[in-house]
Amino acid sequence: MQHPRLFLAGALASALLAASLTQAKVPEEEASRLGKDLTPFGGEVAGNADGTIPEWSGKWRGVPPGVNYAGYPAELPSPYPGEKPLFSITPENYQQYKDNLIEGQIALFERYPSFRMDIYPSHRDFDFSERMAEKAAWNARNTLLSNGVESVSHYTGGIAFPIPQSGEEVLWNTRTNYCHHSANGSVELWGIFANGERSLETSEFTQSLPFNNPANPIPTTEEVVGDRIALSATNYTLPQRKKGEAIVVQEPIDFKSSKRNAWIYKPDIRRVRKAPAIGYDTPTGPGGLQTSDDNKGFNGAFDRYNYKSLGKREIYIPYNNYGFNDLSIGSLDDRLTLHHVNPNYVRFEKHRVWVVEADLAPGKRHIYKKRRWYVDEDSWNPVMAENFDSRDNLWRTVFLLSEYQYDIECYEKHAQIFHDLPSGHYAVSFSQFEMQPFDYSGPYRDISNFTAAYLRKSVTR
């Protein structure tokens, strides 16, 4: 027979656990704000005090009136053609705009006389997929952080925490805000070095998102979907030394109980092997100017850092960059200028962003001692990031470009620009300058297409 005192202690622990889980959920009075004073994804509907950030209208879903978009493989035309910058920020005048700039932008102004930011009117015109809005509303009332911050539970796909209560929840939103179930396309990764030389990697990329499987009704949670939140395959086509190399990755929803599964095929040895090094601060891309967990802002396990939310700021961010990949406007050489991309091809607008900072946890190792992310309140896309070295010096500043993808009714993460300040090098990854846009219309592919066995079979065909 169990001792009464032990029974009471166990009951108390269970009650406290239940209470903590209840407190972790957003109260109904908060969740009911979605679609009212908060957008369906959780941004503030209201504009800012001086009108430089407009009220969210959500007046368009999909292709806007007057925009001629035939669908894949056509380029996305801008819904704001012919719009001119309101003003430009330069090394000569950036001081007067410092309240709306981040440390990384200021560093670029102070380092490069040629750096410029063209500031356009801010737009908040697009509504989101109804299915994704329904998922966000359900998650607000049910989804929890679990295993510390290493996993989410009671989750049905889409924005995990539309009304976040912590920095970790904001970061989980950046990796759960995908609106598509599959993606297929070719990507370019450019390294542009301070001596004027360039290096290029190209690959074919395929992605499936199990929680966005259109066959799953809302709510379908991890009990049915399983423990994998993203599946991807990359097949390198350039440079010659990497041609034929292939990698498949299975991303867990619970980094405490599971690990990222990755396998790599090396054509020189003609074998498929487990790839444990794909993660954390493993250098990647031409010149190793980014880490594995830099991609798309931040990915992988949370266990190397302690996180905190610094609240919201109004800053100038890259936004609505429809023309960045479109080589019918200007040339590749004109874009990839020394030290930074040509400012003519990057559009900035003022928006509200969540700011999350991370400090390296005691006893943990990573080349970045401190990190900071800036996350758009409307789309939950990370739009900029800053990475600091072991001496607390700003090392790399990152711009992440996105635009509203008409065919999936959502803002999609695309090109990423990594500025390595000490060297003067920079990298542009996930660009599609000379490639067709991504195709999001393909059928959902399940986990059997992203295994070591499937990789072996595909590379021997």
Rounded to whole angstroms, how far apart are CA atoms 446 and 209? 9
Which candidate, 17, 414, 423, 456, places its Cα nearest to that of 186?
414
Predicted structure pTM score? 0.94
CB neighbourhood size of 349 (10 A): 22
Those residues with Cβ within 8 angstroms of residue 223's Cβ, 6 or more apart along the chain or in another chain? none
- Cα angle 418, 170, 123 (rounded to 5 degrees) comes to 70
Rounded to whole angstroms, how far apart are CA atoms 272 and 264? 5
The residue ranges of every structural domain in the chain are 1-27, 87-459
Residue 25 is encoded by which pair of tokens? 């959920």
Q: What is the pLDDT of residues 182-228, one digit of tens each?
A: 999 999 999 999 999 999 999 999 999 999 999 999 999 999 999 99
Q: Which residue stretches of 82-180 are H helix?
A: 103-111, 130-142, 167-174
Q: What is the pLDDT of residues 128-142, one digit of tens each?
A: 999 999 999 999 999
Task: Name the residue with higher pLDDT: 84 or 22.
Answer: 84
CATH class of 87-459: mainly beta
- Cα angle 455, 456, 461 (rounded to 5 degrees) comes to 100
Instruction: Indicate the residue type of 57.
Output: S
Q: What is the pLDDT of residues 379-425, one digit of tens each?
A: 999 999 999 999 999 999 999 999 999 999 999 989 999 999 999 99
Which candidate, 186, 102, 118, 199, places its Cα nearest to that of 427?
199
Rounded to whole angstroms, how far apart are CA atoms 152 and 174? 13
Rounded to whole angstroms, how far apart are CA atoms 107 and 320? 23
Q: What secondary structure letter does DSSP report for 212?
A: G
pLDDT at residue number 3: 41
Residue 222 is encoded by which pair of tokens? 């991890």
**Chain position carrying tokens 């941004």:** 43
Do 226 and 209 contact (CB within 8 A), yes or no?
no
Rounded to whole angstroms, how far apart are CA atoms 414 and 404? 10
Residue 288 is encoded by which pair of tokens? 């190793």
CA 450, 225, 260, 398: dihedral to nearest 10 degrees? Answer: 90
Rounded to whole angstroms, how far apart are CA atoms 179 and 168? 21
Q: What's the burial of 21, exposed, middle or buried (CB within 10 Å: 0-12/13-18/19+)?
A: middle
Q: What integer is the mean pLDDT of 169-194?
A: 97
Do 228 and 253 contact (CB within 8 A), yes or no?
yes
Helix (H, G, I), strand (E, B) or coil at 416: strand
pLDDT band (50, 70, 90) for residue 9 = very low
Instruction: Indicate the residue type of 153.
Output: S
Rounded to whole angstroms, how far apart are CA atoms 387 and 306? 15
